[in-house]
Copies of this chain bind each other. A is one copy, B any other.
Amino acid sequence: MSLEDDLGDWRRSHYSSELQGMDGREVTLMGYVSSIRDHGNIVFVMLTDKEGEVQIVFKKDGSSNLPEAESKVEPSPSSLSSLSPSPQSLQSSHSLFSKAKVLKEHSSIAVRGVVKSMKNAPKGIEIIPREMKILSLARSIPPFSIYSKSIPLDARLDIRAVDLRRHYLRAVFKIRHNVLKAIRAFLDEQGFIEVNTPKMISTASEGGAALFPIFYFDREAFLAQSPQLYKEQLTLAFEKVYEIAPIFRAEPSRTNRHLAEAISVDVEHAFVNYEDVMHILEGMVSHVIGYVKDKNREELDMLSMDLVKPTTPFPRYRYSELVDMLRREGARIEWGDDFTTEHLKALAGILKGYYFVVDWPASMRPFYTKVKGDGSYALSESFDLMYNDLEISSGSTRINRKDELIARLKMQGLKPESFTHHLIVFDYGMPPHAGFGLGLERFLMTITGIENIRDTTFYPRDIDRLVP
């Protein structure tokens, strides 16, 4: 109780990253205790804030500097010096030291003290504290260190908020922030307008796929598995639209690349075809990676990622070509079969980085996909964007003729009556259009090297996990 202090009128004056060249200046820092080394009469506390970390040195006697010579000759961790305690200090050095002794890792603190250069301290700086507030004292010790990378996932996810303090995860999510920022900047520059479409819908948008049912007042409804039909409709009024929002898929998967709730980057564009949107997509991917490479050097270092901005155009392979390629490799696959995990692994042995797979059999694609007008009608104007063996995006030219759309609905065993509110839009001059959906988390996996998709989202949802 009395161990903890209120924030009162204290406010942070600086982040830990802003202390270079501030020798002798008094600062107010806030953050949490990421590590403690207690040497009896001296306690080293690492304070971590949003921007980094800095060492605070608490001494029992609040003693003045050690003799210059000694600290120059061979400084050891326990021979760190401090400034004389300020006479106007509100806390005696004794009470300050007692407070430091109470600290546990993860406690939130505010420290007022003086910046001091110190060759042996992390980043060459330490803080000689004058006052400290314990804003929130940790009561428990998490079953992992924030410096560690290899902890069983479930133990981490159970206290995800604490888990997210780990340095490599903070790096992932700082990169994620810039990925979103760069995507929007790219699309805004090209004249796209941001939209939001409803997540509570009356009909399955692509049919067949696993949906989460909802009670919508007195009716049954579903969570949208994609904004597909809405974004298509919106090209009627806005021509070029994008939405970045959650999608919901009740797939009982337990793989490292599926989530029940994910963020989808959806783009739809009137008066163009799939080749045009492939061009936009590869431009966007390349732009984002260039931006992250430039802005997140520190985070990429932390993740040991040597990111290379991919050159465009990305290679394009026809589905049929890849089937032939797989057969030459000895794989068993028929034309019209989807690629299995093994097929994709085999392909990734040959095809590296980002590449498109184009011209899929029409029968393998959703009903709204335009069939190629090459006479055979067996192929569609469609593509997947791959990174090694990971599919990160899927797109196509869409059908913009009502009769054709109805025919394709029936062919795929769907009932046109269920799509009345969508089909009616095609009576009002639906323009030709094309688009794609990009899985944000999967894209982030390719940029950060994270192998389990759960660590590219804040609070993952899958068949086994609904909490926290």
Whether B428 and A11, one on each chain, are in contact in the complex, defined by CB atoms closer than 8 angstroms, is no
Interface centre among A170, A191, A195, A272 (most CB of B within 10 A): A195
Residue of B nearest to A221 (CB): B466
Residue of B nearest to A210 (CB): B217
- Bound-state CA distance A217–B251 (Å) is 9
Whether B466 and A200, one on each chain, are in contact in the complex, defined by CB atoms closer than 8 angstroms, is yes
**A68 at interface (Cβ–Cβ under 8 A)?**
no
Whether B237 and A468, one on each chain, are in contact in the complex, defined by CB atoms closer than 8 angstroms, is no
**A318 at interface (Cβ–Cβ under 8 A)?**
no
Of B188, B199, B236, which contacts A261 at CB under 8 A?
A: B199
CB distance from A363 to the nearest CB of B (A): 22
Whether A173 and B195, one on each chain, are in contact in the complex, defined by CB atoms closer than 8 angstroms, is yes
Q: Inside 8 A of A107's CB, which chain B residues have their CB? A: 429
**A77 at interface (Cβ–Cβ under 8 A)?**
no
Q: Inside 8 A of A104's CB, which chain B residues have their CB? A: 429
Interface stretch (choices A55-63, A92-100, A134-142, A327-335): A134-142
Whether A250 and B7, one on each chain, are in contact in the complex, defined by CB atoms closer than 8 angstroms, is no
Q: Inside 8 A of A223's CB, which chain B residues have their CB? A: 200, 214, 223
Of B108, B180, B198, B233, which contacts A431 at CB under 8 A?
A: B108
Interface stretch (choices A286-294, A407-415, A455-463): A455-463
- Bound-state CA distance A457–B198 (Å) is 9
Whether A429 and B177, one on each chain, are in contact in the complex, defined by CB atoms closer than 8 angstroms, is no
**A239 at interface (Cβ–Cβ under 8 A)?**
yes
Q: Inside 8 A of A458's CB, which chain B residues have their CB? A: 195-198, 230, 234
Whether A135 and B431, one on each chain, are in contact in the complex, defined by CB atoms closer than 8 angstroms, is yes
Residue of B nearest to A162 (CB): B428
Whether A250 and B461, one on each chain, are in contact in the complex, defined by CB atoms closer than 8 angstroms, is no
- Bound-state CA distance A427–B141 (Å) is 9
Q: Inside 8 A of A358's CB, which chain B residues have their CB? A: none
CB distance from A97 to the nearest CB of B (A): 20
**A283 at interface (Cβ–Cβ under 8 A)?**
no
**A26 at interface (Cβ–Cβ under 8 A)?**
no
Whether B217 and A215, one on each chain, are in contact in the complex, defined by CB atoms closer than 8 angstroms, is no
Q: Inside 8 A of A193's CB, which chain B residues have their CB? A: 173-174, 177
**A194 at interface (Cβ–Cβ under 8 A)?**
yes
**A186 at interface (Cβ–Cβ under 8 A)?**
no
Whether A214 and B217, one on each chain, are in contact in the complex, defined by CB atoms closer than 8 angstroms, is no
**A252 at interface (Cβ–Cβ under 8 A)?**
yes
- Bitwise interface map of A from 220 to 238 toward B, beta carbon under 8 Å scored 1, else 0: 0101000000100110111
**A258 at interface (Cβ–Cβ under 8 A)?**
no
- Bound-state CA distance A261–B202 (Å) is 14
Interface centre among A196, A276, A461 (most CB of B within 10 A): A196
Q: A162-B236, A233-B468, A431-B30 are in contact. Are A401 and B4 (CB under 8 A)?
A: yes
**A442 at interface (Cβ–Cβ under 8 A)?**
no
Whether A237 and B271, one on each chain, are in contact in the complex, defined by CB atoms closer than 8 angstroms, is no
Q: Inside 8 A of A110's CB, which chain B residues have their CB? A: 271
What 11 additional pairs, Cβ within 8 angstroms, besides A161-B236, A162-B236? A49-B239, A50-B238, A108-B271, A160-B233, A161-B234, A197-B458, A199-B246, A200-B248, A212-B214, A212-B216, A223-B223
Q: Can you offer 24 A-B residue contacts whose CB atoms are under 8 A?
A: A4-B401, A30-B271, A32-B429, A50-B191, A50-B238, A137-B429, A138-B428, A138-B429, A140-B424, A140-B428, A159-B424, A164-B238, A170-B238, A177-B194, A181-B188, A181-B194, A200-B461, A201-B466, A202-B466, A212-B214, A212-B215, A216-B260, A230-B459, A424-B468
